[in-house]
A = this chain, B = another copy of it.
Amino acid sequence: MNTATTIEELRNERNQIKGIVGLVPTMGYLHPGHISLVEKARSECDYVIVSIFVNPTQFAPSEDLSSYPRDLQQDFKYLEEAGTDLVWTPTDQIMYPHGYQTWITVDQLTQPLEGQFRPEHFRGVTTIVAKLFNVVQPQCAYFGQKDAQQAAVIQRMIIDLDFPINMVVCPIIREADNLAMSSRNAYLSDAQRKAATILSKSLFAAHRLYEEGERNATVLKESISQIVQSEPLANLQYVSCADPLSLQEVDKITSGALLSMAVYIGKTRLIDNILLK
């Protein structure tokens, strides 16, 4: 497994690669959700590059940038086992040198859901992803459905800015008790970890209602809200039933919807979602 830190090192490696390059952008502290992306890339590409970069510009000052979990040694071990060809670990200084001042914004798609509570977040995400794209020049890029709005926003950026990149969105990977895997799960105490199952429990219950024929979005959201309220350690920030493309709230579900939510478990903010087809 090759490694690179600077952009020059990455480009020197990249220039020697022929065939299809797949990029898996991550913030490290890798879990089986990330590894599923690497495995998907491995199955589709000639050369798999994983970037590890905790991108400061997608965290608000109030958020958890400084405490975000990191374990590069373990990450490298997992990535080597998964058949990664190259790991790129740039520094803040490399990605945002002195005088940095260029930003990419996606207008409408970033407003609802996460955007209501993390107004600068997606600007940081789209900017860093575009930079990763321009350095790595992959033909394919892999993202998780766990961050459903992020996937929609990045897909929009790829289309709008004409990046010649095929975006692949991979399913959420869950723990045995259905908690969606997330690096932030590491923040949870034992009691909080148990309480955190309330996200998937409530989503799956709403999914059952949908499969039984319920198409009223308010009913589904009320169901989720009530189940989350039954958990004393959980604090629902939002629940949404939105059009999967526009991310605008729907009243009645006619052709699929994205059910999504953010919940505080103590100080830890968790998100989860499920696609109603």
| A11 CA / B139 CA spacing, docked (Å) | 14
Is A269 close to B, CB under 8 A?
no
Nearest B residue to A107, CB-CB: B101
| A102 CA / B156 CA spacing, docked (Å) | 8
Is A137 close to B, CB under 8 A?
yes
| A11 CA / B164 CA spacing, docked (Å) | 9
Cβ–Cβ < 8 Å partners of A103 in chain B:
104-105, 107
CB–CB A134/B108 < 8 A: no
Is A17 close to B, CB under 8 A?
no
Interface residues of A in 28-45 (CB under 8 A from B): none
Which of B7, B99, B109, B137 sits near A101, CB closer than 8 Å?
B109
| A106 CA / B101 CA spacing, docked (Å) | 6
Cβ distance A40 to chain B, nearest Cβ, rounded Å: 24
Is A78 close to B, CB under 8 A?
no
How many protomers of this protein does the assembly include? 2
Chain A interface residue count, CB cutoff 8 Å, equals: 27
Cβ–Cβ < 8 Å partners of A161 in chain B:
102, 104, 127, 130-131, 134
Interface residues of A in 82-113 (CB under 8 A from B): 99-109
Nearest B residue to A11, CB-CB: B164
Cβ–Cβ < 8 Å partners of A163 in chain B:
134
Cβ–Cβ < 8 Å partners of A186 in chain B:
none
Is A205 close to B, CB under 8 A?
no
Nearest B residue to A101, CB-CB: B107
Which of B99, B104, B160 sits near A100, CB closer than 8 Å?
B160
30 contacts between A and B (CB under 8 A): A7-B162, A11-B164, A99-B156, A100-B160, A101-B106, A101-B107, A101-B108, A101-B109, A101-B160, A102-B105, A102-B107, A102-B126, A102-B156, A102-B157, A102-B161, A103-B104, A103-B105, A103-B107, A104-B104, A104-B161, A127-B161, A130-B161, A131-B160, A131-B161, A131-B162, A134-B161, A134-B162, A135-B162, A135-B164, A137-B164
Which residues of A are at the interface with B, using a C-beta cutoff of 8 A?
7, 11, 99-109, 126-127, 130-131, 134-135, 137, 156-157, 160-164
Extra contacts besides A104-B161, A105-B105 (19): CB < 8 Å: A100-B160, A101-B106, A101-B108, A101-B109, A102-B104, A102-B106, A102-B126, A102-B156, A102-B161, A103-B104, A103-B105, A104-B104, A130-B161, A131-B161, A134-B162, A134-B163, A134-B164, A135-B164, A137-B164
